[in-house]
């Protein structure tokens, strides 16, 4: 039977019910991004850029004869940004309902606040207020404000939220690698038993890969521009032809903490965003690899999930503890990458000097990073809930003595190269012994003793076990620090 036609309309309930999982079920894990990548955060960043542009114009005396702002007035203007609150958000919403233009609404909002600040400090000098108000958003196109705002928002979201979480996860993984550095593990290549390694070394491989991607993300450049409607400084040069507008633009952008882009159309080209999102997506893909490997190790019994945490693994099978953290991470990484990939591929293209596809697209940045952040949280919690089971790893090693065919034939090859007789065709002889069937310790020892090896090599190979055949694996973990 379908849902009843007459039902309570959930969209009309208050407080509003979230449409997406990030603002509903998973809000707690991603809430820090709201401070950087929400619509309110965008308007706050716009206000910051507008305030700083006004201060920059007045302090550098770009416009001859323009009034100066006192230190107290500058401080009062700058305080608008940290004090941006629910009342400010509501006032901006009301202004935008009239302007039907988000950046213009921020301009009008700042004009109101500027008038209040100047009236409070100068006994209502309306002429001065009107003169300074004309420098708010002076010679700017909306994209001068938007591109710098987005650069600041993404920079804050990545450096203050995403990167610290990602680095903490890699540190956690590296710690596990060090703890398990010497725990022998039967490797599986193509799903088949292969040369033994250690669990620590395998985790270290993933930590190393993730670290490389974090280094790339950490080294990202965040570009900004302020050069007018088509990137020509047309209005600037006509309004104040004697000013060095390129220098004014460069110093302003750099004082925001961004890298100046000297050549653009109406929009900053977003290439830096494409580069950054590609690097984050690559990190996500390596993390996805970690999640699937951990899931597989759990299924093989190499890790036990910590019980007694009050969780229910299955609604019908009481014995189950499902690897849900890693499965949840996989799904969220896939959603994140789908968004990051489309951001990377579409933001680098703008028809001629401007189209608005980037405006809608950039509003999904928070969702893209949010799903990645949620995955980081799940992987971290999943790793924290694991106990290694060396006994299970040892059982699989002891059941696969045929993996020692590799070192035996390698020793024979080295001896043959030195001219020791009887060491020819080692690969073929070991293949005949081991391929397609399991052998045990006794069979391998008998085989080795029948090869006619020099005593030292024979003793070394007879003493070798799958668990001790891990090469330099434990020492390699040192590379993750």
Long-range contacts of the stretch 93-98 (C-beta < 8 A, 24+) = none
Rg (CA), the chain: 32
Contacting residues for 193 by C-beta, under 8 A, at least 6 apart: 186, 187, 396, 400, 402, 403
Long-range contacts of the stretch 333-338 (C-beta < 8 A, 24+) = 333/284, 333/285, 333/287, 333/288, 333/291, 333/371, 333/372, 333/375, 334/288, 335/371, 336/280, 336/281, 336/284, 336/368, 336/369, 336/370, 336/371, 336/372, 336/375, 337/281, 337/284, 337/285
Ordered DSSP codes for 5-20: SS---GGG-SSPPPSS
- Between CA 329 and CA 359 the distance in angstroms is 29
The length of the chain in residues reads 481
Q: Which residues participate in catalysis according to the annotation?
A: 190, 314
Structure tokens at 296: 């597989």
Phi, psi of 260 (to 5 degrees): -75, 130
């Amino acid at each position: 039977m379908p849902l009843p036609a007459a039902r309570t309309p959930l969209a009309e309930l208050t407080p509003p019910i979230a449409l997406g999982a990030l603002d509903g079920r998973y809000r707690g894990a991603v809430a820090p991004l709201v401070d950087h990548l929400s619509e309110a955060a965008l308007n706050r960043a716009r206000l910051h850029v507008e305030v700083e542009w006004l201060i920059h114009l007045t302090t550098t005396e770009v416009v001859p004869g323009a009034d100066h702002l006192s230190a107290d007035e500058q401080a009062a203007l700058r305080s608008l940004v940290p004090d941006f609150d629910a009342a400010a958000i509501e006032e901006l919403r009301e202004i935008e309902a009239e302007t039907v233009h988000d950046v213009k609404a921020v301009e009008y909002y700042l004009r109101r606040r500027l008038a209040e600040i100047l009236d409070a400090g100068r006994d209502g000098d309306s002429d001065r207020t009107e003169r300074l108000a004309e420098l708010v958003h002076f010679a700017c196109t909306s994209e001068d404000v938007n591109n710098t705002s987005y650069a600041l928002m993404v920079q804050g979201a990545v450096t203050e939220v995403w990167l610290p979480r990602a680095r903490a996860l890699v540190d956690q993984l590296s710690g596990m690698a060090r703890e398990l550095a010497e725990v022998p593990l039967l490797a599986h290549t193509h799903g088949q038993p292969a040369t033994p390694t250690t669990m620590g070394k395998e985790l270290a491989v993933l930590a190393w890969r993730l670290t490389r991607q974090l280094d790339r993300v950490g080294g990202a450049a965040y570009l900004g521009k302020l050069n007018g409607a088509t990137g020509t400084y047309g209005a600037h040069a006509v309004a104040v032809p004697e000013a060095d507008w390129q220098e004014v633009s460069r110093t302003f952008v750099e004082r925001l903490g961004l890298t100046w882009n000297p050549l653009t159309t109406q929009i900053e080209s977003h290439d830096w965003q494409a580069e950054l999102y590609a690097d984050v997506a690559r990190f996500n893909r390596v993390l996805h690899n970690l999640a699937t490997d951990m899931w597989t190790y759990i299924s093989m019994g190499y890790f036990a999930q910590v019980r007694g945490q009050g969780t229910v693994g299955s609604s019908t099978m009481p014995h189950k503890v499902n690897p849900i953290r890693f499965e949840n991470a996989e799904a969220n990484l896939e959603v994140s990458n789908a968004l990051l990939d489309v951001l990377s591929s579409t933001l680098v293209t703008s028809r001629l000097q401007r189209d608005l596809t980037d405006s809608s697209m950039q509003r999904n940045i928070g969702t893209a990073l949010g799903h990645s952040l949620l995955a980081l949280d799940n992987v971290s919690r999943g790793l924290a809930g694991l106990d290694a089971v060396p006994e299970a790893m040892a059982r699989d090693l002891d059941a696969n003595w045929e993996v020692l065919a590799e070192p035996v034939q390698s020793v024979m090859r080295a001896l043959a190269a030195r001219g020791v007789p009887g060491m020819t065709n080692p690969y073929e002889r070991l293949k005949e012994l081991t391929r397609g069937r399991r052998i045990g310790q006794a069979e391998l020892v008998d085989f080795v003793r029948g090869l006619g090896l020099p005593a030292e090599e024979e003793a070394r190979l007879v003493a070798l076990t799958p668990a001790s055949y891990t090469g330099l694996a434990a020492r390699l973990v040192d590379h993750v620090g």
